[in-house]
Structure 1
Amino acid sequence: MGESRTELLAWLNDLLQVNYSKVEQCGTGGAYCQIMDSIFGDVPMARVKMNAKHEYEFIANFKVLQNIFRAHKVDKPIPVEKLVKCKMQDNLEFLQWIKRFWDTNYGGQGYDPVGRRRGAPTDTPATIAPLAPSSSRSSAANLHAGAARSAGGRTPVGHRAGSTQPNEAVQALQTQLREMSTHLEGLEKERDFYFAKLRDIEILVQQQLEVLEAEAKDDPVMRDIQKILYSTEEGFEVPEAGAVDEEETF
């Protein structure tokens, strides 16, 4: 019923003037935000990270999308937890829906995608890197295999009586690695949860300061909150990839 992946990517690349090669790239959230901007023209594109590469950045983009849906009373649940995993099927289904929504609601007005995002880079990786929990599980699997090969290499031929000891050791290591992987996945979900809350606070503070600046006013409390949000530990330097975009600074 819906368009194919090839048709959707051709439409998306033409509309947004990007160079996506896979539907999975839409899982970063940036493209969905700008598609809605082409319809309504009021998406705060300065807060959308079009070249997002980390899950917490994907979540921040989807927060913007959720706000737009609420503002325009778009009655469609956004399966954020599925989409940010950058799986093809989940993003294909959502992109098919958003294309139908665009067909129904786009007014045919001219749209300048590059101008709206102020020339911000859109170099979302063609192959989305596995998220940390998956990486942990993959590393664990590699360690399991390496441990098994190592144990097999050390076991002397003909000494079958003691062959169960290396196997038991490997199984114990596998159990520990599974537990650590599960624990790490929980910690990362908790990190993303609190990051999303801080991001919401940051957006609210930014919006309030913009209103005050337009009225030639100031709020010391808001400035103090902003300083706390942007402060870093002594001796810590924010890496270039994680720096705040120029259009978002104050």
Structure 2
Amino acid sequence: MGESRSDLLAWLNELLQINYTKIEQCGTGAAYCQILDSIYLDIPMTRVKMNARHEYEFIANFKVMQNVFKAKRIEKPIPVEKLVKCKMQDNLEFMQWMKRFWDTNYPGHPYDPVARRRGQATDTPATLAPLAARATATPGAGSGRSGGKTPISGHRAGSATAVRHEAVAELQAQLKEMSTHLEGLEKERDFYFAKLRDIEILVQNQMEDLAKDGREDTTLNEIQKILYSTEDGFEVPEGGVPQGDEEETF
């Protein structure tokens, strides 16, 4: 038997200085990421959206967490598809495991959670419904009859239409938000790729100058190895360095 929901929430709120009221809120992935940061102090908290409200944001948080598990060689599987649905039981069981992991691995150093997340807002709503769930569940609110029969009453039909329009409007707003978020990610990608390209050119020029004199530099060689390194399942296209980021998947 693990710790109760109330015990876990009290511990979590104290550790991270947040105000979660339901264990389901952990389904955003943000709290799990910062628990790990309290242990290792090297989690990229700027990439963690503490007030995530949509499933694509939850998944991005869990991607950060999966990368940490891989880097730290933590062999516990992360049931992302279950956790992002923000169901109580799934998140309770995983949080119980996280608490045991923290008890075992926390080294006891001081931890400032607000500073580590650079003051990000943490106002995750107490009731969360992932994007996919809302998209399918909301329109059904006006279809209470069995057998798929259309209600005879014009009032009920009008109510169902209004609900559908409201659902469409909500989805359109979410799509706009996702597009804005994606545009920001693409700009960030291009910014860092440009920096890497400048470093690559500088290293190449230095190495060519050294090669003319029959010399080489170990540090430059190591930098070049890092620039051209790849992950399993990814190959550098013919012609050199890829002109964009590789796509990571779960």
Q: Normalised by the shorter chain, which TM-score bucket?
A: 0.5 to 0.7
Question: What is the DSSP-based 3-state SS (H/G/I as helix, E as strand, rest coil) of the residue aligned with 2:126?
Answer: coil
Measure, in 2, the Cα distance between the counterparts of 1:82 and 1:206. 34
Q: Counterparts in 2 of 1:1-250, with a 5 A limit?
A: 1-129=1-129, 131-145=131-145, 150-151=151-152, 153=153, 225=244
Measure, in 1, the Cα distance between the counterparts of 2:60 and 2:76. 18
Measure, in 2, the Cα distance between the counterparts of 1:37 and 1:206. 26
Measure, in 2, the Cα distance between the counterparts of 1:37 and 1:10. 18
Measure, in 2, the Cα distance between the counterparts of 1:23 and 1:149. 39
Question: What is the DSSP-based 3-state SS (H/G/I as helix, E as strand, rest coil) of the residue aligned with 1:51?
Answer: coil
Measure, in 1, the Cα distance between the counterparts of 2:201 and 2:11. 43
- Which amino acid counterpart does residue 83 of structure 1 have in structure 2? L
Unaligned runs of 5+ in 1: 155-169, 171-176, 178-183, 185-191, 227-250
Cα distance change on mapping 1:107 and 1:125 into 2, 3 Å:
same
1:95-131 deviation per Cα after TM superposition (whole angstroms, max 9, x unaligned): 0000000000000000010000000111111111353
Offset of residue 81 of structure 1: 0.3
Moved more, 59-68 or 209-218: 209-218
* TM-score normalised over the length of structure 1: 0.62
Unaligned runs of 5+ in 2: 158-163, 165-170, 172-177, 204-226, 228-239, 246-250
2:17–2:113 CA contact under 8 A, matched in 1: yes
Offset of residue 149 of structure 1: 7.7
- Which amino acid counterpart does residue 64 of structure 1 have in structure 2? V
1:38–1:111 CA contact under 8 A, matched in 2: yes
2:54–2:130 CA contact under 8 A, matched in 1: no
2:55–2:132 CA contact under 8 A, matched in 1: no
Q: What RMSD over aligned residues (CA atoms) do the two structures have, in Å?
A: 3.9
Stretches (4+) displaced over 2 A = 129-138, 143-150, 201-219
Cα distance change on mapping 1:217 and 1:63 into 2, 3 Å:
farther
Measure, in 1, the Cα distance between the counterparts of 2:19 and 2:190. 34
Cα distance change on mapping 1:203 and 1:99 into 2, 3 Å:
farther
Offset of residue 150 of structure 1: 3.6
Q: Percent identity over the alignment?
A: 58
2:52–2:58 CA contact under 8 A, matched in 1: yes
Offset of residue 139 of structure 1: 1.6
Cα distance change on mapping 1:10 and 1:215 into 2, 3 Å:
farther
Offset of residue 142 of structure 1: 1.5
Moved more, 129-138 or 71-80: 129-138
Cα distance change on mapping 1:210 and 1:33 into 2, 3 Å:
farther
Offset of residue 141 of structure 1: 4.3
Cα distance change on mapping 1:134 and 1:106 into 2, 3 Å:
same
- Which amino acid counterpart does residue 136 of structure 1 have in structure 2? T
1:7-51 deviation per Cα after TM superposition (whole angstroms, max 9, x unaligned): 000000000000000000000000000000000111000000000
Measure, in 2, the Cα distance between the counterparts of 1:9 and 1:18. 10
1:85–1:131 CA contact under 8 A, matched in 2: no
Cα distance change on mapping 1:207 and 1:11 into 2, 3 Å:
farther
* TM-score normalised over the length of structure 2: 0.62
- Which amino acid counterpart does residue 75 of structure 1 have in structure 2? E
